[in-house]
Structure 1
Amino acid sequence: MLTICKCRQFATIPSLANSFPVKCLPLSSLVKETLPIVLEIAGGLTEAKGILINTFLELEPHAVNSLSNGKTPPVYAVGPIVKHEGDDRDAGSDGSKNYRDIMEWLDDQAPSSVLFLCFGSLGSFRSEQVKEIACALERSGHRFLWSLRKPSPSGKLKSPSDYENLQEVLPEGFLDRTAKIGKVIGWAPQVDILAHQAVGGFASHCGWNSILESVWFGVPIATWPLYAEQQFNAFYMVIELGLGVEIKMDYTMNLQGDDEIIVNADDIIKAIKHLMEEDKEIRKKVKEMSRISEKTLMPGGSSHSSLGRFIDDIIENLS
């Protein structure tokens, strides 16, 4: 049951150990036009014979246990199901040459020295926000690999594209001044980059696949959610698990591009320094969760056992 305290604007959610800020709920659950759809979908899940989830018990113990009370269909946590480096690699819009260029650049960097910035299939920013990010990266002095995508025209919900000329959106001289420490790209082979030993931090929109990939490869995350359930995911990583730091946790991207909230360079720098310099405890915790995630898929692991129960239950229902 979801309990919301309107006076304090916090919600009590059984799957979380901490009170959850209402402002971080998905917009679809806060808007009267879309809330009935959300409730209908959620209600429909109660009619299922079982729910297969791409997570693992050790990552979301409160969630798995709260849904295993006999009042809901059986829940089977069988994750993390993630792509691995080299698996069906997408050549991207620039083809294999671009991929080689990215990986060769990473090969030249020191272990855990690079901050990777990538914001998902719809993740892009208008020019003012791009300039704030660029200013933060330059002032921080940290090595970075930035997947910078061009937004679709206002009013059109389409995937971002690559810039033909990065100079048109970046501050004047930025590429020259940061040539020795950074690389700005378009499309990014995210899994292969996160798997590279040079990557020490991940600024992300917090889509669930990206969350699982950051955990699997042991890369701590700086959260910048944009839409859907990503604010919830960001809260979970920062507050519940302590596996990430906040750039902005209640940010909501306006997909039409109007009235975009701007996160200033100072706030971005603070998060970068926290992630890359100051909080060694987060790095240890992420590495430990990475080791746990691998064990869950091995015989005797929680996800391996959960998958076995799932198969057994299917066979039982068919007999």
Structure 2
Amino acid sequence: MADTYAKLIFIPAPGVGHIMSTVEIAKLLVSRDQRLSITVLVIKPPSVDSGTAINVYIESLAKNTIDHISFIQLPQDEISLIHDPKDLMSFFNVFIPSHCKYVRNIVADMTSQPDSGRIAGFVIDMFCTCMIDVANEFNVPTYVFFTSNAAFLGFNFYIQTLSDVMKKDIIEIKNSDTEISVPSFVKPLPTKLFWDLVHTREGLDFVLRSFRKLRGVKGIMVNTFLELETHAIESLSDDINIPQVYPVGPILNLEGGPSVKKPFDDYIIRWLDSQPPSSIVFLCFGSLGSFDEAQVKEIARGLEHSGHGFLWSLRRPPSDDQKSIFPSDYVDPRVVLPEGFLERTAGIGKVIGWAPQTAVLAHQAVGGFVSHCGWNSLLESLWFGVPSATWPMYAEQQMNAFEMVVDLGLAVEIKLDYRKDVFTSKDYNTVGVVTSEEIGSGIRRLMEDNDVRKRVKEMSAKGRSGVVDGGSSYASVGLLIQDFLNR
């Protein structure tokens, strides 16, 4: 009987967006075919961040009962306990690999059980390529769940080709302040928008090692859909040296995940209930997004100049002496806002701390989204038909913003090249303070450009159609399941 089942080992990276997306794709797979059984091996972030939303979420997983899905929280050793969360390269090169031995032990125990059934594959995050070696030890194929988009996936493979095959110096290219033609992007990509990790030799070395290994995996699931990234997906399919790509998205956690601030949700939603349809611009910059006082004041002035109602998730940056990269909420936001701002905007706007993002985007009063351009956030805004204005901050968000604005015409620009170092205590960004005039102008375009709004609504319908029977992602998931079962 056990042989009729295919067991999968999922290993997400320990980031809230990565884990939530992984859980959602696992739920989708087992709902589509009851012959699949999934064990999610959870790498817990360093203990110094134990109070953050990601750990609240991880702790909740063990309490949830999901048919055919189980969760095992991996132990932490001394490396985990002393790891500095602001040391990004150590996180990738030391912290995550320190968990390989625990994965090896768990899989060995699983395979030694009588009637345990076969393991059809490991499904790993792009930041967990060290786990490919563990899978190989058990003669198990590896698949990747790529939580970002197809254009960015293609960029990384192209960077690896430029370096290894064409013998180009990527750091030199990145510093050239020019544009290069990347096959997965429609328009030439400005080199100043390259993602953070290829800005340094150490980061570049990690990317090159990772994508050399990813060329050998069995398949890559991408959180996107064919109608959204037709060009990028076709460019990946045309390259015979890239594994089979399965567009399976949009994969979304529409419940938003658990939070200690759930009671506050009702207050926000009640306020939105009192606003006219599509009248509110929502500003939210992700789990790591925050600004210094000078930039906060410019945002406030820009909102006043825009003339539009707003809901602003304003977060306090972590202090230099904190062993954390996560912002917190202000006790009183007046300490950083212009004098009298809250009083002047009381009738049209709200300044809040943490926000229930999916619930807000789903609300009919919300007509625009000023976003840091994390891929999950952009997919959520598309799902709900809410156009975005781009204000990227870190990682690959500048490239996401470029694709949405320039390649796809599904967003408007506030900035494409803004970049802030959220992983150290350095207080800098690449473009200086974004002025209130730029912000106000961007918000007006966001709320008043009917062409962008129409395209976003059309893409929303295509995304929703893609995940149901007869849709492109539905078919792609079916092919993937068949591949699991055939093994």
TM-score (norm 2): 0.62
Q: Residues 78-125 of structure 1: CA distance to partner in whole angstroms, max 9, x if unpaired?
A: 0001122xx2653443x41x1111000000000000000000000000
Kindly indicate whether the alpha-carbon contact (under 8 Å) linking 1:50 and 1:73 is maintained by their aligned counterparts in 2: yes
Q: Secondary structure at the match of 1:132?
A: helix
Contiguous gaps of at least 5 residues in structure 1: none
Q: What is the aligned partner in structure 1 of residue 457 from structure 2? A: 287
More displaced 10-residue stretch of structure 1: 44-53 or 7-16? 7-16
Does 1:204 find its partner at 2:374? Answer: no
Kindly indicate whether the alpha-carbon contact (under 8 Å) linking 1:114 and 1:200 is maintained by their aligned counterparts in 2: yes
Kindly indicate whether the alpha-carbon contact (under 8 Å) linking 2:250 and 2:463 is maintained by their aligned counterparts in 1: yes
Q: Secondary structure at the match of 1:33?
A: helix
Structure with the higher helix share, 1 or 2: 2
Q: What is the aligned partner in structure 1 of residue 471 from structure 2? A: 301
Q: What is the aligned partner in structure 2 of residue 165 from structure 1? A: 332
Kindly provide the amino acid, as one letter, of the partner of residue 100 in structure 1.
D
Bigger radius of gyration among the two: 2
Kindly provide the amino acid, as one letter, of the partner of residue 442 in structure 2.
A
CA shift for structure 1 position 28? 1.3
Does 1:37 find its partner at 2:37? Answer: no
Runs of 4+ more than 6 Å apart: 5-8
Q: Among all aligned residue pairs of Structure 1 and Structure 2, give the percentage whose two residues are the same amino acid.
A: 52
Kindly indicate whether the alpha-carbon contact (under 8 Å) linking 2:317 and 2:328 is maintained by their aligned counterparts in 1: yes
Kindly indicate whether the alpha-carbon contact (under 8 Å) linking 2:174 and 2:199 is maintained by their aligned counterparts in 1: no
CA distance in 2, matches of 1:139, 1:90: 35
CA shift for structure 1 position 200? 0.3
Q: What is the aligned partner in structure 2 of residue 186 from structure 1? A: 353
Q: What is the aligned partner in structure 1 of residue 300 from structure 2? A: 134
Kindly provide the amino acid, as one letter, of the partner of residue 164 in structure 1.
V
Q: Residues 260-296 of structure 1: CA distance to partner in whole angstroms, max 9, x if unpaired?
A: 421111111110111112x100000000000000110
Q: CA RMSD in A?
A: 1.6
Q: Secondary structure at the match of 2:202?
A: coil
Kindly indicate whether the alpha-carbon contact (under 8 Å) linking 2:302 and 2:440 is maintained by their aligned counterparts in 1: yes
Q: What is the aligned partner in structure 2 of residue 83 from structure 1? A: 253
CA distance in 1, matches of 2:303, 2:244: 46
Does 1:266 find its partner at 2:432? Answer: no
Q: What is the aligned partner in structure 2 of residue 15 from structure 1? A: 184
More displaced 10-residue stretch of structure 1: 246-255 or 211-220? 246-255
Kindly indicate whether the alpha-carbon contact (under 8 Å) linking 2:177 and 2:192 is maintained by their aligned counterparts in 1: no
Does 1:275 find its partner at 2:446? Answer: yes
CA distance in 2, matches of 1:65, 1:315: 26
Kindly indicate whether the alpha-carbon contact (under 8 Å) linking 1:231 and 1:250 is maintained by their aligned counterparts in 2: yes
Kindly indicate whether the alpha-carbon contact (under 8 Å) linking 1:150 and 1:160 is maintained by their aligned counterparts in 2: yes
CA distance in 2, matches of 1:6, 1:187: 36
TM-score (norm 1): 0.94
1:150 to 313, 316, 321: 316
Kindly indicate whether the alpha-carbon contact (under 8 Å) linking 1:55 and 1:79 is maintained by their aligned counterparts in 2: yes
CA distance in 2, matches of 1:24, 1:283: 25
Contiguous gaps of at least 5 residues in structure 2: 1-157, 163-172
Kindly indicate whether the alpha-carbon contact (under 8 Å) linking 1:53 and 1:75 is maintained by their aligned counterparts in 2: yes
CA distance in 1, matches of 2:386, 2:358: 11
CA distance in 1, matches of 2:319, 2:191: 31
CA distance in 1, matches of 2:428, 2:193: 19
Kindly provide the amino acid, as one letter, of the partner of residue 145 in structure 1.
L
Kindly indicate whether the alpha-carbon contact (under 8 Å) linking 2:303 and 2:440 is maintained by their aligned counterparts in 1: yes
Kindly indicate whether the alpha-carbon contact (under 8 Å) linking 1:130 and 1:169 is maintained by their aligned counterparts in 2: yes
CA distance in 2, matches of 1:88, 1:158: 21
Q: Secondary structure at the match of 2:444?
A: helix
Higher RCO (CA 8 Å, separation ≥ 6 residues): 1
Q: Secondary structure at the match of 1:145?
A: strand
Q: What is the aligned partner in structure 1 of residue 266 from structure 2? A: 100
Kindly provide the amino acid, as one letter, of the partner of residue 373 in structure 2.
C
Kindly indicate whether the alpha-carbon contact (under 8 Å) linking 1:90 and 1:189 is maintained by their aligned counterparts in 2: no
Q: CA, structure 1 residues 152+72, in 2 after alignment: closer, same or farther (shift >3 Å)?
A: same
CA shift for structure 1 position 243? 0.7
Kindly indicate whether the alpha-carbon contact (under 8 Å) linking 2:256 and 2:358 is maintained by their aligned counterparts in 1: no
CA distance in 2, matches of 1:163, 1:7: 40
Kindly indicate whether the alpha-carbon contact (under 8 Å) linking 1:56 and 1:293 is maintained by their aligned counterparts in 2: yes
Q: How many residue pairs end up in the alignment?
A: 312
CA shift for structure 1 position 34? 1.2
Q: What is the aligned partner in structure 1 of residue 401 from structure 2? A: 234
CA shift for structure 1 position 5? 9.4
Q: CA, structure 1 residues 157+14, in 2 after alignment: closer, same or farther (shift >3 Å)?
A: farther
Q: Secondary structure at the match of 1:203?
A: strand
Q: What is the aligned partner in structure 1 of residue 243 from structure 2? A: 73
Does 1:48 find its partner at 2:214? Answer: no
Q: CA, structure 1 residues 7+33, in 2 after alignment: closer, same or farther (shift >3 Å)?
A: closer
Q: Secondary structure at the match of 2:385?
A: coil
CA distance in 2, matches of 1:146, 1:163: 13
Kindly indicate whether the alpha-carbon contact (under 8 Å) linking 1:141 and 1:181 is maintained by their aligned counterparts in 2: no
Kindly indicate whether the alpha-carbon contact (under 8 Å) linking 1:202 and 1:222 is maintained by their aligned counterparts in 2: yes
Kindly indicate whether the alpha-carbon contact (under 8 Å) linking 1:126 and 1:257 is maintained by their aligned counterparts in 2: no
